[in-house]
A = this chain, B = another copy of it.
Amino acid sequence: MTVQHYNQTGEHDVVTPDRSSFPLNMWYVAALSKEVQNKPLARTLLNEAIVLYRTADGQVGALEDRCCHRALPLSLGTLEDNGIRCGYHGLLFDKTGTCIEIPGQQKIPSKAKVNSYIVKEQNAIIWIWFGSKEHPEPTCLPPVYSVHNDEKYLYDGDVYHYQAPYQLIHDNLLDLSHLGYVHLHTIGGNAKIHMNAEMNVEQMGNSVKVTRYMPNSTPPPTYTAAYPFKGNVDRWQEITFFPSHLEIWTGAVDVNSEPFDSPDRGGFHLKGFHGVTPETDETSFYIWTQASNPSSSPEENMKLVIEQTALTFDEDKVVIEAQYQNLKRFKGKKLVDIHVDVGANRARRIIEKLKIDQQN
């Protein structure tokens, strides 16, 4: 069989997905491990349509989501021991994207293959490498997130699809002062206390850490339900931004029981993982888990934590998507910065620099 040009659209240029809006040469969060089990998962990441799947031996693969024969998404196919089989005419592809079987045909053309991606499953997260032309192979290991493997914690999570570009999610997470307004009815608490809390911002390489400490404050109801606090608490928010994800540690200990700079402080706290991965220039995946250490009724309290977290993120989604629609509606109109923007602006400069660096 010959390879020929088969063009439905009457045009002859191949459209190459555009990665230029995103920093490259880094690992992105592709999915939670629990999402990729016994059927293929179609997911567009950085403008590229990808199928993620797991073969019978437990290995995760990632291919271009398109059969090389007649372009059906491979994500509509079926999983076999040694690959994924197209749901139209049964072509079978291995993890490298090579077609290894064409039903009814002995010779397999050498051009019968599709693109493959480098993925690595670690800490119950599936990471995917997006390199520039110079770095098709990873130049580093994926980030370690050991909380998912720590027996002290229970955790669960979910994936949200956002009709908004990824950096608006960074902005939101790096500035928890919005809790008092957006999350008034869930985890909010007193708006003024959040707004007036001392905030510290420090940058280490391509990472930004924003901390807020609220010593001697009243614990919110969700905290007292999960832990026998004696009275007032020392409460903290520690947000660490990385280009691929954010880690947010919020919690409380009894007043003056443990110093704010102890990395092992107990009390009741939440450790959030927040993968923020562009789908397209205008849409994103928000891939999150929430871990906690409830001391009483752990399963039940954990279920509550996840439900509350989901409610809270629903509120954020409404705000961020409305914000993006409005940014387009009022395109180009100048915005005014305020005190809470320091962390978010740092993160934006890091992303900007990463994009400039990869062009040189």
Which of A's residues lie within 8 Å of B, judged by CB?
1-15, 21, 49, 64-66, 68-73, 76, 85-91, 99, 102-105, 109, 111-112, 165, 167-168, 171, 175, 177-178, 180-182, 191-192, 195-196, 318-319, 322-341
Residue in B1, B327, B333, B340 whose beta carbon sits within 8 Å of that of A338 in the complex: B1
Report the minimal beta-carbon distance from A111 to chain B, rounded to whole angstroms: 5
Contact status B195-A90, CB under 8 Å: yes
Report the minimal beta-carbon distance from A80 to chain B, rounded to whole angstroms: 13
Q: Which residues of B contact A319 (CB under 8 A)?
A: 72, 76, 87-88
| CB-CB nearest in chain B for A168 | B8
Q: Which residues of B contact A65 (CB under 8 A)?
A: 326
Residue in B49, B66, B327 whose beta carbon sits within 8 Å of that of A8 in the complex: B327
Q: A165-B8, A191-B90 are in contact. Are A322 and B72 (CB under 8 A)?
A: yes
Determine the distance from Cα of A333 to Cα of B8 in the docked complex, in whole angstroms. Answer: 10
Determine the distance from Cα of A12 to Cα of B332 in the docked complex, in whole angstroms. Answer: 5
Determine the distance from Cα of A88 to Cα of B191 in the docked complex, in whole angstroms. Answer: 11
Contact status A181-B329, CB under 8 Å: no
Contact status B104-A177, CB under 8 Å: yes
For the A-B complex with A11-B331, A15-B333, A73-B326 known, give 9 more contacts whose Cβ atoms are closer than 8 Å: A1-B341, A2-B337, A3-B337, A8-B324, A68-B336, A76-B322, A87-B182, A102-B339, A104-B177
* Tally of this chain's copies: 3
Q: A177-B104, A178-B88, A323-B71 are in contact. Are A330 and B66 (CB under 8 A)?
A: yes
Contact status B9-A328, CB under 8 Å: yes
Report the minimal beta-carbon distance from A185 to chain B, rounded to whole angstroms: 12
Q: Which residues of B contact A86 (CB under 8 A)?
A: 181
Contact status A337-B165, CB under 8 Å: no
Report the minimal beta-carbon distance from A2 to chain B, rounded to whole angstroms: 6
Interchain residue pairs with CB less than 8 A apart (21): A8-B168, A8-B327, A8-B328, A15-B330, A15-B332, A49-B330, A65-B326, A66-B329, A69-B335, A69-B336, A70-B171, A70-B335, A71-B330, A71-B335, A73-B323, A76-B319, A88-B181, A89-B177, A89-B338, A102-B338, A103-B177
Q: Which residues of B contact A8 (CB under 8 A)?
A: 165, 167-168, 324, 327-328
The 5 closest A-B pairs by CB, nearest first: A104-B195, A14-B332, A103-B195, A6-B335, A15-B331
Q: A105-B339, A195-B104 are in contact. Are A178 and B89 (CB under 8 A)?
A: yes
| CB-CB nearest in chain B for A167 | B8
Contact status B178-A66, CB under 8 Å: no
Residue in B1, B4, B90, B171 whose beta carbon sits within 8 Å of that of A180 in the complex: B90
